[in-house]
Structure 1
Amino acid sequence: MKRQMMAAIIGVFGALGAPENARAYDIDCAIMLCLAGGFPPSAVCAQAYRTMIRRITPWPSLPPFGVCTFAHVPVELGGPGGEGELDTNLPEYEWLNRTHVIWFTGRSYEPRDQPRQWDWTIRSCDRENRTCQYIQRVYGSHTPWPATFVSESGQEIAYPTSGGFLHFYSRSIMVEYGDFEGNMDHSEWFDY
């Protein structure tokens, strides 16, 4: 009976210690891993999703994620136990340098005694938010924004909304990223 009780106690303490090991990586690693899986339902991915959105929604935005360095992993869990700097200009980090935050703003309105008009802009910023450029900037169009646009990386991306007559204003943001093999992809649009 004592052995069974001791085994149960050890099992409980072992189970309670497991989440600490599961969180042994920094949040940038969690964002990248969860983003690749479409943010599957879990506590770690929910936190990673919230952190990524918190970084990219203010203006100026912060990078959606950095390099997964395991820099914050304590030594007792096998990590370096401190802050680590990494040279992302090396060729093996080119995928990270293709990350862009894409901002969309669009509105529909009816000027006095004129037909309905649409304005929209698509702006792309690098992952450090140092360099931003307009991909499209249209004012006073008599037709809604088109269905798709071409990003800096050559991807054809659908606009977040259709720009119909009942849609008056929209602000959205997305992340465009590349993997280590050079394949480009993007997140969904997030309205804010």
Structure 2
Amino acid sequence: MKRQVMAAAMGMMAAIGIPEKTQAYDIDCAIMLCMAGGFPPSAVCARAYSTMIRRITPWPSLPPFGVCTFAHVPVELGGPGGEGELDTNLPEYEWLNRTHVIWFTGSSYDTNEDGRVWSWSVKSCDRENRTCTYIQRARRESRSWPDSFVSQSGQVIELPTRRRSGEFSMRSIMVEYGDYEGNMGHSEWFAY
């Protein structure tokens, strides 16, 4: 009798179907929401952070995130069911507009005439990597790059450290972001 009841229950579940768990937002929304909170510790925010870093580390890099498409999520899945995109020009998304991708390149080598020379640059780009500005750059200097720089948002950010002697070159990238309260933060440097 127990087998018949169990078989009947399994048959009903197969016929009706078990609903799958569905996220009410995509990874771009998760990145934006977690970034606004300073990437608090959670499984969703850890995945969002790693996805953002994975997007910015190849060359050419991708924007750290796309447009949050939460507006397209159906009402039955917890969304508004609309057709439009998120308008990031609204005052409540000012934190999002402070997001920058920061690029660092540095090299050092010996020359016959000048001895050891250093070249480096720090470049800041908007979140879509379209508009970029050099914050610092030097070519063939007799000294190494500084320990830190001041970002466009006023943060003092330490530059990557040199781990090698002799001739070398390095490239690193990071994301600077602001949370919804106006506090600025940044990811670590990622060499690529």
1:28 aligns with 2:36: no
Shift of 1:68: 4.2
On the 8 A contact 2:30/2:44 being kept in 1, the answer is no
> Which residue matches 2:93?
93
> Which residue matches 2:55?
55
Shift of 1:74: 3.6
Structure 2, unaligned stretches of length 5 or more? none
Size of the alignment, in residue pairs?
184
Superposed, 1:37-76 pairs within 5 Å as: 37=39, 42=43, 45-46=46-47, 48-58=48-58, 61-66=61-66, 68-76=68-76
User: In structure 2, what is the Cα distance between the partners aligned to 1:83 and 1:59?
Assistant: 33
User: In structure 1, what is the Cα distance between the partners aligned to 2:168 and 2:131?
Assistant: 29
User: In structure 2, what is the Cα distance between the partners aligned to 1:5 and 1:167?
Assistant: 71
Shift of 1:167: 6.5
> Which residue matches 2:126?
126
- TM-score relative to the length of structure 1: 0.77
SS in 2 for 1:51: helix
SS in 2 for 1:76: helix
User: In structure 2, what is the Cα distance between the partners aligned to 1:163 and 1:112?
Assistant: 24
On the 8 A contact 1:149/1:157 being kept in 2, the answer is yes
On the 8 A contact 2:148/2:158 being kept in 1, the answer is yes
Residue type at the aligned position of 2:141: S
On the 8 A contact 1:144/1:164 being kept in 2, the answer is no
Instruction: Sort the Cα spacing of 1:4 and 1:173 in 2 relative to 1 into closer, same or farther, 3 A.
Output: farther
Q: Tell which deviates more after alignment, 55-64 or 146-155.
A: 55-64
- TM-score relative to the length of structure 2: 0.77
User: In structure 1, what is the Cα distance between the partners aligned to 2:56 and 2:62?
Assistant: 5
User: In structure 2, what is the Cα distance between the partners aligned to 1:4 and 1:170?
Assistant: 66
On the 8 A contact 1:100/1:124 being kept in 2, the answer is yes
Shift of 1:140: 1.1
Percent of pairs identical after alignment? 66
> Which residue matches 1:102?
102
Higher relative contact order (CA 8 A, sep 6+): 2
Instruction: Sort the Cα spacing of 1:34 and 1:5 in 2 relative to 1 into closer, same or farther, 3 A.
Output: farther
Q: If you compute each CA radius of gyration, which structure gives the higher value, 1 or 2?
A: 2
> Which residue matches 2:154?
154
Instruction: Sort the Cα spacing of 1:115 and 1:163 in 2 relative to 1 into closer, same or farther, 3 A.
Output: farther
Shift of 1:25: 1.2
On the 8 A contact 1:99/1:175 being kept in 2, the answer is yes
Superposed, 1:158-177 pairs within 5 Å as: 158-162=158-162, 165-166=165-166, 168-177=168-177
